[in-house]
Chains A and B, each alone.
Chain A
Amino acid sequence: MSHPDSPHSSEKAMDIVNNVKSSSHRIRNSIATIFGIGALAGCATNAPQDTWQPKGDNAQIINNLQWIVFPMAGVVGVLVFALAAYTFWKFNDRGQPIPSQSHGKPVVEIILTIIPALILTVVGVFTFRGIFELAETKDTEMIINVTGQQWWWEYDYPAQDDQGITQPIISSGQLVIPVGTKVLLRETSRDVIHSYWIPALNGKKDAVPGRINLLRLQADKPGLFAGQCTEFCGLSHANMRMEAIALSKEDFAKWVSNQQKAYTAPADGTLAKEGEGVFLNQCIRCHQVNGLKKVDGTPAIAAPDENVYSGAAPNLSHLMSRNTFAGAKFDLLNKKCRSDVWDASSETIGAKYLSGVSEPCLNATALRAWLRNAPAMKPMYADPAKLEISGGKYRGMPNLGLNETDIDKLVAYLLTLK
C-alpha cells in the first residue's frame, strides 16, 4: 500500500509528472504518425484494390452505401471526439469542488436515444437494401465455380450454351469474364476457409469447405482488376492473389474458343517435345493438361489427391493464355509486356490479353526459378521431412530437384500450352 506522507512522496510525484509528460509526447507522436500514414496512403494513385473506385454494378452498390454511411459516421465521430475533448478539458480535475450530482435528465436522455435510433434506422434502411440487391441472383447470366485452396484459386466454367461454352473450361489464377454480364461465382474451398475479394467488382465472400457461397460480379468495361484472399488461410495467405479480366463479349468468345481447343502435342524432335516427356515424368503427378496422352496413347490423368493435401493442383491446359502463375503471385509476362497489358485502355486490353504469353514476353527468370525450387519462391509446406501432420501430402508445390536441362525442356513445353 502506498503512503502519500512518506519522505519520498514529492520525488515520486515529480516522477509521475515527468512520466505523464513523456507519455503525452509519445501519444502526440503516435497520433501524428497514424494520421500522416493515412494521409499519405490516401494520395496513392496506383491503388488497384481501392474500394472507392467501383468498376461494376455490385461494387457500385457498396460504394453508394459507403457514401451514405461514412459521412454520417464521420460527423458522429467528430462530434463525439469534440465533446469528449471539451469535457476532458473543461472538467479536468484542478482541485475544484465536486459539483452537485443529479440523477439524469429525462429530456436529454430521450433525445440522446431518439437521435441514434434515427441515425441507425437511416443507415439500416440503406444497408438492408444494399444487402438484398447484392444477394440478387435470379437474373444471373453466367456461372463460374470458384474453388479456393492453399494458396490459389481454381475457376471452372460449366457448359453454358448461352455463353458459347459448349464444354467445361478450367483455369486458375485469373478469372476471365465478359463485360456487362451478370456472372455468379459459386465459391467453395478444398481445405480451409478462404475469402474471395476483387474490390473493384464486389465485396468479400468466404469460400468455406462443404458449402457453396454465391457472389455476383459484373464489370462495366474491359479491364484488369486485382484482388486478394482476405481470410487468413495459412503460411502463404498474403501470396494468394487473384485477378479478374473483363473482356468485351467478342473477345470473351475468342477466349472461350481458345480454351476449348483440343490439345496439340509438340512436334517430334523439338525441345518442347522433350519437355512433354519431362512433364509426363514429373508434373503429371499433380498437374492436369487436358488431352495430354501418355506414351502408350492412354489419357494422362493427374493424381493430385495422392500428393497434395487439398487434392488439387492448377490445371495447366492453356497455361500461356494466362498472365500469372503460382496463385497469381508471379507474372508470366516480363515487366514490359505486363505493363503493356495492365496499362492498356479498355479498347485495347482485350487484344493484348488474348495474345497470351509469347517467348519474347515470357518472364523466364521467375518461371525458371519456380521450376528450380518453388518453395524458395513462395512459402509452402513442402519439406518432405515435415509432412507427417498432413499425412505425407504437400501444401503447395515441392522442390522437384529438376536440373537445368529439364527446366529448359519444360519451359519450351509450357510455352506451347496456349
Chain B
Amino acid sequence: MITPGSKYFFGLTGLSLIAAILYLVLVNPTDLGAVALFGLATSGALIGVMASFTRDGDVYTDEEAVAANAVAGPPSFWPIVFALGAALVLTGLATVSVVFILGIAVLIGGGVEWAIQNWADGASSDREFNEFARARAISAIEYPGLAAVGLGVIAFFFSRVVLAVSKEAGPIIFMVVAGAIFVIGVLIASKPFMKGAVTVVLAVLAVIALAGAGTFAALSGERHELAVAAEEDYYDASHRECGEEESEHYDHLANSSVSLRSAVTATIFVKDGKVYAEAIGMTKKVDTITIPRSNATSVMFRNLDEEKHRLVVNLGSAKVAETGVSEKVGTCTQLTGKNQEQVMTLKIPKPATEAEPYSFTVPGATGEIKLVVP
C-alpha cells in the first residue's frame, strides 16, 4: 500500500534521481554532488519502503483510525510556541545571533512537541490513554531538555553573582549554597512521605532567589578589577607589553589555567638572580629548549626571587612591511611576583639564523636559555 508518508519519500526519490541524472549530464560527471544525489534517492526509496511497510508508523487500520479520531484532541498551545520560534528566528536574522539561535531551539522544541501531541491525539478515542502515549513518547526528550535548560539558567544567574562579588567571597558563596542544597536534600530524602507540593515550593523559592540575586548582580556589574581589565583589554595578548604595566588589576593567573600548566614543554626559573630551565622528561637542568616549528608550544616562567621579573623571548629581527626597517621580534610575559607563574605560548614558523639565534632572557637576571626551532 502506498501510504501518504511513503508518497513523500518516493517523490523525493524520483526528484533526486532526475536531479542526479541532470547533474551528471549538465554539471560534472565525476563530481561528488551526483553521488550525494544518488545517495539521497537511495535513502528516500529505503525510507519510503519502510514507511509503506509500516503504514507510516500507524498501528491502526484506516477504520480503527477513524474511530480513534472520532473524539477531538484537547486544545494545544504548541502551535503558538512554534510560531513564537519562527518570530524569534526572523527577529534574530535582523538583530543578533543569540535571538536567532534561541528561535531555532524554540522552533525545534515546539515543532517536536506539536508533532508528538498531534500523533498522540489520534492514538485512540480515549483521552487518558492518548496523554499516556504522548508522555511515553516525549518524556525521554522533555526531561533531559528541561534539565539542560534549568542547568543553563542556574549557571547563568550564579555566574553573574560570582563575577559581581569579590574573588574571596565567590568560593564561600559557592560552598554555602552547595552545603544548603545538600542539607535540604538530605532532609527531603529523610521524609519520604513529605508532600510533593512542599518540594515544589522550595524549588520555586530557590529559583526565584537565584534569579533575583543574579539579576541584581548583573545590573550591579562585574567587580572592579574585572571591569578595569576588560576596559583596558587586558585579556588581549597584544596588551602584554614589555614596558611598564598599565594596571595593577590584571588577573595574575590568566595564563596559568590547568590545561596550559599541564602541557608546558619546559619551565624557566629565576632564582637568586640566575636563570635556569627544566624540560619535561629531562632529569637535568637544560640550557637549550627545543620546540617544533609552526606549532603552538607553551613555556612556563616561574619567579622564585623577591623582586618582580618577566620572561622575554628574543626571536631575531624582521623587516616591517610598511617601512622596510628591520626591527627586533619578540614577546614577553607580564611582571611576575615571587612564587608566581606566567605561561608564554609561542608559535614560531621558521628556524633562527646563525647570526640571530633565538633565546629566552629575564631582564635583571643573569644567564639565558637558548631556543632552538629545528
Residues of A within 8 A of B (CB): 1, 137-138, 140, 143, 145, 147, 154, 156, 158-159, 168-170, 184, 186, 188, 190, 209-212, 214, 288, 299, 301-306, 310-312, 315
B188 to chain A, nearest CB (A): 29
- A residues near B146, Cβ cutoff 8 Å: none
Q: Which residue of B lies closest to A167 (CB)?
A: B372
Do most interface residues of chain B lie in helix, strand or loop, or is the interface mixed? loop
- A residues near B263, Cβ cutoff 8 Å: 210-212
Q: Are A147 and B295 in contact (CB under 8 A)?
A: yes
Q: Does B60 contact A (CB under 8 A)?
A: yes
A319 to chain B, nearest CB (A): 15
Q: Does B340 contact A (CB under 8 A)?
A: no
Q: Are A212 and B280 in contact (CB under 8 A)?
A: yes
| Residue from B281, B292, B354 in contact with A137 in the complex, judged by beta carbons closer than 8 Å | B281
| Residue from A159, A169, A311, A315 in contact with B349 in the complex, judged by beta carbons closer than 8 Å | A311
Q: Are A140 and B374 in contact (CB under 8 A)?
A: no
- In the assembled complex, the Cα of A210 lies from the Cα of B292 at a distance in Å of 12
Q: Are A311 and B288 in contact (CB under 8 A)?
A: no
Q: Does B3 contact A (CB under 8 A)?
A: no
Q: Are B372 and A312 in contact (CB under 8 A)?
A: no
Question: Which 8 pairs between the two chains have the least Cβ-Cβ distance?
Answer: A311-B294, A305-B349, A158-B290, A170-B374, A211-B263, A184-B281, A147-B292, A156-B374
Interface residues of B in 282-336 (CB under 8 A from A): 282-283, 286, 288-298
- B residues near A158, Cβ cutoff 8 Å: 279, 286, 288-290, 372
Q: A1-B61, A168-B374, A303-B349 are known contacts. Are A312 and B292 too (CB-CB below 8 A)? A: yes
Interface residues of B in 95-136 (CB under 8 A from A): none
Q: Are A138 and B349 in contact (CB under 8 A)?
A: no
Q: Are A312 and B353 in contact (CB under 8 A)?
A: no
- B residues near A210, Cβ cutoff 8 Å: 259, 263, 296, 298
- A residues near B264, Cβ cutoff 8 Å: 212
Residue of B265, B289, B294 with most chain A CB atoms under a 10 A cut-off: B294
Q: Are A186 and B295 in contact (CB under 8 A)?
A: no
Q: Are B294 and A140 in contact (CB under 8 A)?
A: no
- In the assembled complex, the Cα of A209 lies from the Cα of B298 at a distance in Å of 11
B171 to chain A, nearest CB (A): 28
- 7 A-B residue pairs with CB within 8 Å: A137-B281, A156-B290, A158-B290, A168-B374, A184-B281, A212-B264, A299-B353
- In the assembled complex, the Cα of A1 lies from the Cα of B297 at a distance in Å of 65
- A residues near B280, Cβ cutoff 8 Å: 186, 212, 214
Q: Which residue of B lies closest to A171 (CB)?
A: B374
- In the assembled complex, the Cα of A195 lies from the Cα of B59 at a distance in Å of 49
- In the assembled complex, the Cα of A228 lies from the Cα of B52 at a distance in Å of 46
Residue of B279, B281, B290, B349 with most chain A CB atoms under a 10 A cut-off: B281
A396 to chain B, nearest CB (A): 15
- A residues near B347, Cβ cutoff 8 Å: 311
Q: Are B294 and A1 in contact (CB under 8 A)?
A: no
| Contact code string B333-359 (vs A, CB < 8 Å = 1, else 0) | 000000000000001011101100000
- In the assembled complex, the Cα of A64 lies from the Cα of B205 at a distance in Å of 59
Interface residues of B in 237-278 (CB under 8 A from A): 259, 262-265
A290 to chain B, nearest CB (A): 8
Q: Are B60 and A190 in contact (CB under 8 A)?
A: no
Q: Does B225 contact A (CB under 8 A)?
A: no
- A residues near B294, Cβ cutoff 8 Å: 190, 304-305, 310-312
A60 to chain B, nearest CB (A): 21
Q: A301-B350, A301-B351, A311-B349 are known contacts. Are A143 and B279 too (CB-CB below 8 A)? A: yes
Q: Does B64 contact A (CB under 8 A)?
A: yes
- In the assembled complex, the Cα of A412 lies from the Cα of B280 at a distance in Å of 41
Q: Are A188 and B295 in contact (CB under 8 A)?
A: yes
Task: Please name 9 further chain A to chain B contacts, defined as beta carbons within 8 Å, in addition to the given A168-B372, A210-B259, A212-B280, sorted by A numbering.
Answer: A1-B59, A137-B281, A143-B281, A159-B372, A190-B295, A211-B259, A211-B263, A299-B354, A312-B293
B152 to chain A, nearest CB (A): 27
